Amino acid sequence: MDRKDRADWIREVLSKQIVETYPPWKNSRLLGCDIEHIIGKKDNFASTTYSITLRLQSEKDGCEECEVHSLFTKFIVDEQVVRETLQSEKQFHNEILWYSKVIPEFDLLIAEAGITEWNSDIFAKCYYANYDVNDAVVALEDLRPKNFHLGDRYCLDVKHVEKALEAVARSHALAYRWREKDENTFSGIAASFKEATLNEVMDATLKVCNERVMCELEKNPEYSARVHKFRKITAEPLALMSRLLKPENQLATLCHGDFCRNNILFCESLENGNATVDVKLIDFQTVRYASPAIDLSFFFYLSTTPKFRAAEFDRLFKIYHATIIQTLRSLRQKEKPESTENLETIFSLQALKEDFGKHAVYGYFIMSFFLPIMLVDDETRDEMTQLWEANDDRQLEMFSTLGGECVTSQLVDTLKEILDRGYWPLEE
């Protein structure tokens, strides 16, 4: 569908469907619809996006009122080769499943527990989500008018990291509680998410990226023996990452799957003279049922620096753990006190840290591939993206040096950190 046809369809069909199906708007009259195509930027190439402004008229207490609502609307990318490379159909299937099935369950759990202090507002409000054989669309609240924005491109500051971890911990804990309450329904939904990231093309890329790091680090005699062991364990990245994604124990949860700075919106404000940060998690296209370390390693290695983690990691991990426990206690508050006694056993800080260590290499692999893309100039990034989308083998040669020595140094420092902490991945 070309841009003009899609704009006409949004105005004439989609806008009406949204108003007719979103419960609070069912009795409203659509007065108009303004549409703006959002050109993809460096962090937005996986979807075709539009800003939609709906003007509605409704009756309240005998008086007619006019309302204006801003929506951020996502469609599957139009280019077929990009669809196939990104596995777009699977990604939209996952995101629609998240908004249509998972968040309503979370809302129900919060309501049943009688919680009033917080709700599911860590997720963007979804007005409409639909998938069919021709297209897929997700219409969310446009958070830009409320001053939500992405954080620093490479390293988030400590306050933003804290808030992001609290948000993902609450999401993980809600999934734990859902599994507790209704394991059959939970398991059915968890099994319905589709793998939309790992493929053979990525395997070749990850081998090149990993080799780039290991070749540099093994020059250091202090690390050469450990690098030799690491090379053997990580010789087949795709197989290893697939193994790391398998849910193993009670710590497995519904993971965002792409939990990094690109998919977290922040809004800073002042309340009673104190600076506060609000958070929204977005883009649930690679959700999977797996270890929480899949999200945590992805986030720490791609959104913070080795220097930052050396100073803050242990303290921040405790914040994540504390939020898990606090959320689960809130969700169980109507039950007998003894129902919370096992929380610190199952979800102990030590258990979560050990689990992180076994899965940390997952985030390292993602970082080895994506960090170089993030840190190069726009022209190089565009060239790299074109080669990747076209499945051109020249991308592999570029990845071996992408970003130069500066990027290589940052990748090497992260592998040093992993080896120094003894984060050896699970072996078969």
- In the block, tokens 């493929």 appear at 199
Output the pLDDT for position 50: 95
Q: How far apart are CA 19 and CA 71, in angstroms?
A: 12
Residue 251 has pLDDT above 90, yes or no: yes
Mean pLDDT of 67-73: 96
Closest-CA residue to 89 (of 57, 46, 33): 46
Average pLDDT in the 172-192 region?
A: 97
Radius of gyration of the chain (CA): 22
Q: Give the whole-angstrom CA distance, residue 341 versus residue 347.
A: 11
Find the length of the chain: 428
Judge contact between 184 and 344, C-beta under 8 A.
no
Average confidence score pLDDT of the chain: 92
Q: What is the pLDDT of residue 85?
A: 75
The CA distance from 75 to 254, in Å, is 24
How confident is the model over 11-46, as pLDDT tens digits?
Answer: 999 999 999 999 999 999 999 999 999 876 555 557
Residues contacting residue 320 through CB under 8 Å, at least 6 positions apart: 165, 166, 168, 169, 296, 352
More confident residue, 52 or 154: 52
